[in-house]
């Protein structure tokens, strides 16, 4: 997953040449996902405990169904 925060912290703040970097160089690989069947309060608590503001929401097959914004 590539977020605006990844771009700011890993590219812009370090003055990296945009022509010399790929998305693969800056994207996050260790993602916390939320299953669509999890209740909202559990998802928010988990996201807060892990310091995550957004998380991919997946179904039972692991397919992306949305993005959670847990604050």
pTM of the full structure: 0.69
Contacts of 35 by beta carbon, 8 Å cutoff, 6+ apart:
57, 58, 59, 60
Task: Pinpoint the residues of the chain covered by CATH 3.90.1280.20.
Answer: 32-71
Partners of residue 55 on adjacent β-strands: 68
- Edge-to-edge strand order for the sheet containing 34-35? 34-35, 54-58, 64-69
pLDDT-derived band at 66 (thresholds 50, 70, 90) equals very high
pLDDT of residue 29: 82
Calculate mean pLDDT across residues 25-53.
Answer: 90
pLDDT of residue 35: 96
d(CA 21, CA 67): 26
pLDDT of residue 70: 65
In words, the CATH class of domain 32-71 is alpha beta
d(CA 48, CA 26): 23
pLDDT of residue 34: 93
């Amino acid at each position: 997953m590539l977020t605006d925060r990844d771009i700011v912290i890993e590219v812009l703040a370090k003055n990296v040449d945009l022509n010399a970097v790929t998305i693969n160089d800056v994207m996050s690989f260790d993602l916390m996902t939320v299953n669509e069947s999890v209740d909202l309060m559990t998802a928010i608590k988990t996201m807060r405990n892990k310091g995550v503001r957004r998380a991919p929401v997946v179904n039972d097959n692991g397919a992306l169904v949305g993005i959670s914004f847990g604050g």
